[in-house]
Amino acid sequence: MVEAPMTPVRQLARYGLYAVLALVAFIYLMPLWVMIITSLKDTEEIRTGNLLALPGSFNFDAWVAAWSSACTGGTCEGISTYFFNSFQIVIPAVLVSTLLGAVNGYVLSFWRFRGSELMFGLLLVGCFIPLQVMLLPMARSLAFFGLANTTTGLVIVHVIVGSGFTTMFFRNFYIGLPQELIKAARLDGAGFFFIFRRIVLPLSTPIIVVTLIWQFTQIWNDFLLGVVFSGAETQPVTVALNNLVNTSFGGKQYNVDMAAALIAALPTLFVYVLAGKYFVRGLTAGAVKG
**Is a pLDDT exceeding 80 seen at residue 178?**
yes
pLDDT reported for residue 176: 84
Mean pLDDT across the chain, nearest whole number? 85
* Gap between the Cα atoms of 196 and 266, Å rounded: 35
pLDDT band of residue 158 (cuts 50, 70, 90) is very high
pTM of this structure: 0.84
**Domain span including residue 133:** 80-287
CATH classification of the domain holding 110 = 1.10.3720.10
Residue 75 lies in a domain: no
* Total number of domains constituting the chain: 2
**Is a pLDDT exceeding 90 seen at residue 61?**
no
Residue 148 lies in a domain: yes
pLDDT reported for residue 215: 93
Q: CB–CB of 43/253 below 8 Å?
A: yes
Do 19 and 128 fall within a single domain?
A: no
What is the torsional sign of CA 255, 256, 261, 267? Answer: positive
Residue 96 lies in a domain: yes
* Gap between the Cα atoms of 76 and 86, Å rounded: 18
* Gap between the Cα atoms of 212 and 170, Å rounded: 12
Of residues 122 and 219, more confidence is placed in 219
Do 95 and 232 fall within a single domain?
A: yes
pLDDT reported for residue 119: 83
User: How far from the centroid of its chain's Cα atoms is residue 182's Cα?
Assistant: 32
Give pLDDT tens digits for 223-254. Answer: 999 999 988 889 999 999 888 888 755 567 88
* Gap between the Cα atoms of 172 and 106, Å rounded: 10
Residue 66 lies in a domain: no
Do 150 and 93 fall within a single domain?
A: yes
pLDDT reported for residue 69: 57
